[in-house]
Amino acid sequence: MSRLFFCILFLLFISACANTPNKSKQNIILSDDGLSEISLQKNWRKQHNLNQVASIQAADMQRELYLIVISEQVDPSRGISLTDYSRLTVSNIANNLEQAAITDQHELIIDGQKAIQTEVRGIINNIGIHYISTAIAGKNAYHHVLSWTLASLINVNRDRLVAATDGFSLSDNQRNPVAKQYFQFDWPQDLHAEVEFKITDEKIIAGESDRKVISGHYDLATQGQKNHLLVSSNNTSITVEDASEEQASNEITNMLAQLTAQTPSFLVTPQGTFHRIVDAEPMRKKALTIVNKKIDELAPNRKSQIRQNIEKVLSDSTISTLLNEYWNELVGYWADGTMAQGETIRASGTYQLPMLHDKQTEMEITYEFIGNVPCTDKDMKKSCVHLRTRSIVNADNAREAMGLYLSDVAQQKVNIHSMSIQSIVDLVSDPHTLLPYSVTKTKSNTLNFDISGQKTTTEKIEVYESSFKYKKRGT
């Protein structure tokens, strides 16, 4: 089997990217303040970044269903009435919407308590949203259960939102409140950081190992723009070590240096959400020039087919997905979130394989807030937090598509028996800004297949380590 075949095979793995996931499977979610709980269908998952003051956060991402609970400990027998509290919460919602409209309001009983339920619709960030706001009178507190979905889906999802709200109940015994850490995205608009990195890459093909160490550094910078923050990298320097031959090492170093010199910038929102890439065309042109030269050397008769496959890898969609994954692991998964030290939130989501026409497969992921740690060796106050994500991809439903694709590449029949994709990301970050200080990502991919009746196992293990040093502009 040709080396080119395996290079393309692993390019598939490199190009596979995780989408924003859904959170953990639980039927009953307890509130952080110890006052209440909610019983939900199994498709609802606990969330950590819908609202920083909510005591319960949950969602069914596949159906675009969301719910939070905010409790205020006041004596309902004195001061503000339930009607006043309902009016206040609805007013707060409407004031943050364009074209806000109240479509329904009625009284009801939830968990034996008086409640007022109001439906509000409007537009936020050019997206139509439909809310069901429910104010509930508790024993010594008012509880606001706010659920919502896309306005275009309300006819399908209204009963689901109402059922979720009906699952709210006061806890029989008040629990101690859970102390939460808030993760705030607050990158400066003129950030300048030096990033040192090291990538240890090992491929094991049919029992034969090929190991390389790629190290270097680059400058990370931000620039404030209207409603967004531009994130860019430049001045990249790369060295490839431990390659099989010195000549091959120098060749790979030169190729990577040319590619990374044209890395696209991207925009993120003030909330820390990835928005879009800015311009991938310079990188794409440079990469295709390099690839075309290599194709002429290795496989001139298959230039058209290989170029087509490479163009898929270098498409705006694929590059955007890769940068989105990078940003989510660095910031996006945590921005505007709250978690307790030692807490683990289990999740499920989707994983994309861009080379297979954006084939999606299931992914299980966990989020962990491990504890407080020093940002640097000199930080005696342990000002940073250690955050970890673990993901396991169930790639079984992509086996057939992968087999067909690799058969086309190899010009021989390829049968995929199993695929496995796993990763662990350890992040040390400042919780008040989400500026990272170190990242370690370990990713392993395993593929068991046979080609022309010959069974083969390939494995790729990649460890990416990086550290960030921040300085002021002009220094």
Q: What is the reported pTM?
A: 0.80
Q: What is the CATH number of the domain that holds 262?
A: 2.30.230
Residue that finishes a domain, picked among 146, 177, 208: 177
**Domain end among 129, 162, 177:** 177
Task: Write the CB contacts of 326 (distance below 8 Å, at least 6 apart in sequence).
Answer: none
Pairing of strands 181-183, 337-339: antiparallel
Nearest partner of 321 among 369, 274, 263, judged by Cα: 274
The boundaries of the domain holding residue 350 are 3-21+184-470
- pLDDT tens digits for the chain (475 residues)? 333 333 333 333 333 444 444 443 347 999 999 999 999 998 898 988 899 899 999 999 889 999 999 999 776 556 788 999 999 999 999 999 999 999 889 999 999 999 999 999 999 988 999 999 999 998 888 999 999 999 999 999 999 999 999 999 999 888 899 999 999 999 999 999 999 999 998 888 877 888 888 888 899 999 998 889 999 988 888 887 765 554 454 555 555 555 555 678 999 999 999 999 998 888 777 777 776 776 666 555 666 666 676 677 777 888 888 889 899 999 999 999 999 999 998 877 777 766 666 667 778 889 999 999 999 999 989 999 999 999 988 777 677 777 777 777 677 888 888 888 899 999 999 999 999 999 999 999 888 888 877 888 889 899 999 999 998 654 4
DSSP string, 154-165: HHHHHHHHHHHH
Q: Are 122 and 129 in contact (CB under 8 A)?
A: yes
Query: What is the DSSP secondary-structure string of 321-343?
Result: HHHHHHHIIIIITTTTEEE-TT-
User: Do 372 and 278 share a domain, yes or no?
Assistant: yes
Residues 218 and 126 in one domain: no
Tell me which of 177, 192, 207 is where a domain ends: 177
Rg (CA), the chain: 25
Is 409 among the domain residues?
Answer: yes
Q: Which of 147, 153, 151, 149 is nearest to 134 (CA)?
A: 147
- 458 assigned to some structural domain: yes
In sequence order, the 6+-apart residues with CB closer than 8 A to the CB of 268 are: 228, 229, 231, 274, 275, 327, 331, 332
Looking at the domain assignment, is residue 475 inside a domain?
A: no
End-to-end alpha-carbon separation of the chain, Å? 52
Indicate if 143 and 234 belong to the same structural domain.
no
In a domain, 27, yes or no: no
442 & 308 share domain: yes
Same domain (yes/no): 220, 112: no
